[in-house]
Amino acid sequence: MNNLDFKTVNLLLLISFMAVSFTVYGQSDYGHDRIVGENHISSVSSVLSKMDNITGWALQDNGSWLSSKNRIPLSDENNLAPNNEKENLGQLNVISLELRRVMIGDEQYMALIHKYRDGEYEFPILQEGWKAYNSYEFYVFRGEKLKEIIPDNFKWNTAWGVNLNVYARGTIKDYTEGERLGEDAIKRAVLMIQKGEVISNYNLVMGVAAVKNGEDESFRFRLIKTFKKDYLVSYYTNLETWEININSRFWEVRSNIFYSFIRDAQEYLVDIEEGLVSIEIDSSYQNLYNWGVIRYQMGDYTGAIEYFQKALKINPGTQDFMLYSFKGNAFSKRKMYNDAIADFDKALSLHPNDILDYSNWVRNYFNRGVAKYYLSNMQGACRDWNKALELGFGQAHDYVIEYCE
C-alpha cells in the first residue's frame, strides 16, 4: 500500500470505501474525453464532526448559575420563567455545531456551522403571530486553526482565546434539513470574496476553557462574534478572555465529546508540509495520488479521476490497488459504470501484501457488484456480492438477501 502522508489507514477505514449509494440512476454516457479540469473555486465536504448535546450555562442576577440543554438561559430565569416564544429561545440556543472541510483552490479551510432554533413575530410590537423555524450561521476559516482550539500542550484549568480570522461567513434563515442550500451558500460566500464583490470584516473568536475537577473533565467554550480589528482581536484573545468575556455565559460538554468534535475534523486535513504540495511545485506520482484522494473525499469525482490518471501516466506499473479502487468508486459516483468495473477488475488483480489492507481490497467485489447492478447485470452483481460475503464483507449480506434470493 502506498504511504500517504495524512494518516492514510485511519482515513481509508473511515471514509474511503463507503459503498456506492444504492439509488438507481441512469448510466452516464460521458467518456474519458469528457473529463474536464479541476474546479478551483471551492468544494464543500459532508459533515466531518458534530455536537448536538451541549449544556448552556448562564450567571443569574442573584449570583447563582442556571443550566439548560442546548440553550443558554436568560439572566433572570431563576426568578422569571420565559413568558413568550422568543424568550423560550434563551440568550442563545443550539441544535447542533458541525464542521465541514472547504477546499478553496489548493487551500484547506473549515466551515463551522451553528444550527439553532429561530423565529419571528408577524406583529412584533404585540408579540403575536409567532412563526418558528430553524436557521444557521457558518464561518469559514483556515483548517490549521483547529490546532489552536485544542493545543497539544494545553493544561487543565486554564483558558485561552482563538482568533479564527474568518474568511467568509453567512446566515441562512428558515432552512429545511437536507437541502443543499447550506453547501451552495458556503460556495457562494467564498466566491463573492474571491471575486472581490464582498469585503468581509466579520470575525469569530472562540473562547475555550479546559476544566478538570477530580475525575471529571470538560471543556467550556463560547463563540464570540466580532470584527477584524486588531484591538478587538487582542481584547478577546488575551489571557483574561475567560474572566472578562465568557464567564457570565458559556457552553459546556464533556472532554471526550469536544475532543472528538475537533480531532475528528482534523483527521481530514492533510499535512501540507509532509504530503500535499501544489502540483505546480510537485508533479510526482505520490503528490498527484494524494490530490486524487483529497478530491475524492471532497466529492469532486471528476477532479479525483483526473489526478489519478495523471498519477498513472507517471507510474503506470503501480501495484497499489487502492488507486484503482478510488478511481473505480469515482467513476461509479459519476455513473460511468463500465469504467468503474474496469478499475475494480484491475484493483482485484493486485492482491494486497499487508493483511491490514485486505478488508479494503475485498470491498472491490462489493462495489463492482453495485456497478453491475446499475448496468442491469443482476447475475454478475449477485456473484460479486456473494464473493464479498464469502471473503468476510458482512455488509454484502443484506444485498444478497434483498436482490439475489
Q: What's the CA gap between 223 and 94, in Å, rounded?
A: 12
First to last CA, the chain: 36
Give yes or no for a contact between 344 and 367, defined as CB atoms under 8 angstroms apart.
yes
**Are 304 and 257 within one domain?**
no
pLDDT digit string (tens) for 189-234?
888 888 788 788 899 999 999 999 999 999 999 999 999 988 888 8
Grid coordinates belonging to 280: 505546480
pLDDT attached to residue 6: 33
In this prediction, residues 145-160 reach a mean pLDDT of: 93
**Are 357 and 225 within one domain?**
no
Dihedral over alpha carbons 64, 70, 71, 77 (to 10 degrees)? -40
**Are 12 and 88 within one domain?**
no
How many Cα neighbours within 13 Å face the side chain of 42? 26
In a domain, 301, yes or no: yes
The mean-pLDDT minimum among 175-179, 213-217, 259-263 falls in 175-179
In a domain, 273, yes or no: no
Q: What is the 3-class SS of the chain, one letter each residue?
A: CCCCCCCHHHHHHHHHCCCCCCCCCCCCCCCHHHCCCCCCCCEEEEEEEEECCCEEEEECCCCCEEEEECEECCCCCCCCCCCCHHHHCCCEECCEEEEEEEEECCEEEEEEEEEEEEEEEEECCCCEEEEEEEEEEEEEEEHHHHHHHCCCCCCCCEEEEEECCCCEEEEECCCCCCCCHHHHHHHHHHHHHHCCCCCCCEEEEEEEEEEEECCEEEEEEEEEEEECCHHHHHHHHCCCHHHHHHCCEEEEEEHHHHHHHHHHHHCCCCCHHHHCCCCCCCCCHHHHHHHHHHHHHCCCHHHHHHHHHHHHHHCCCCCCHHHHHHHHHHHHHCCCHHHHHHHHHHHHHCCCCCHHHHHHHHHHHHHHHHHHHHCCCHHHHHHHHHHHHHCCCCCHHHHHHHHHC
Q: Is the pLDDT of residue 263 over 80?
A: yes
* Average predicted confidence (pLDDT) for the chain: 83
Give residue 311's pLDDT band: very low, low, confident or very high (50, 70, 90): very high
In a domain, 68, yes or no: yes
* Structural domain range at position 214: 45-266
**Are 103 and 59 within one domain?**
yes
Show which of 241, 266, 291 is a domain's final residue: 266
**Are 158 and 253 within one domain?**
yes
**Are 93 and 27 within one domain?**
no
**Are 27 and 51 within one domain?**
no
In a domain, 271, yes or no: no
The whole model's pTM is what?
0.67
In a domain, 2, yes or no: no
Task: List, in order, residues 6 or more apart from 197 with CB less than 8 Å away.
Answer: none
| b/e per residue 168-202 (b: at least 16 CB within 10 A) | bbbebeebeeeeeebbebbbebbeebbeeeeebee
The mean-pLDDT minimum among 33-42, 207-216, 279-288 falls in 33-42
**Are 338 and 236 within one domain?**
no
Distances, alpha carbon 204 to alpha carbons 138, 199, 229, in Å:
10, 15, 11
Q: What's the CA gap between 366 and 373, in Å, rounded?
A: 11
Task: List, in order, residues 6 or more apart from 226 with CB less than 8 Å away.
Answer: 203, 204, 205, 232, 233, 236
The mean-pLDDT minimum among 33-42, 47-56, 214-223, 350-359 falls in 33-42
Show which of 246, 266, 286 is a domain's final residue: 266
In this prediction, residues 342-366 reach a mean pLDDT of: 89
In a domain, 183, yes or no: yes
In this prediction, residues 134-150 reach a mean pLDDT of: 94
Give yes or no for a contact between 318 and 14, defined as CB atoms under 8 angstroms apart.
no
pLDDT attached to residue 28: 27
> Domain count of the chain?
2
In this prediction, residues 372-386 reach a mean pLDDT of: 95
In this prediction, residues 312-329 reach a mean pLDDT of: 93
**Are 128 and 244 within one domain?**
yes
Q: What's the CA gap between 113 and 139, in Å, rounded?
A: 7
**Are 262 and 365 within one domain?**
no
**Are 128 and 211 within one domain?**
yes
Q: What's the CA gap between 51 and 261, in Å, rounded?
A: 7
- For 227, phi then psi, to 5°, come to -125, 165
Q: What's the CA gap between 252 and 210, in Å, rounded?
A: 10
In a domain, 25, yes or no: yes
Show which of 266, 293, 320 is a domain's final residue: 266
In a domain, 225, yes or no: yes
pLDDT digit string (tens) for 224-260?
999 998 888 888 888 776 666 677 899 999 999 999 9
- Go through the chain and tell me how many residues it has: 405
In this prediction, residues 389-403 reach a mean pLDDT of: 90
Neighbours of 45 (CB within 10 A): 20
Q: What is the CATH number of the domain that holds 373?
A: 1.25.40.10
**Are 245 and 147 within one domain?**
yes
pLDDT attached to residue 405: 75
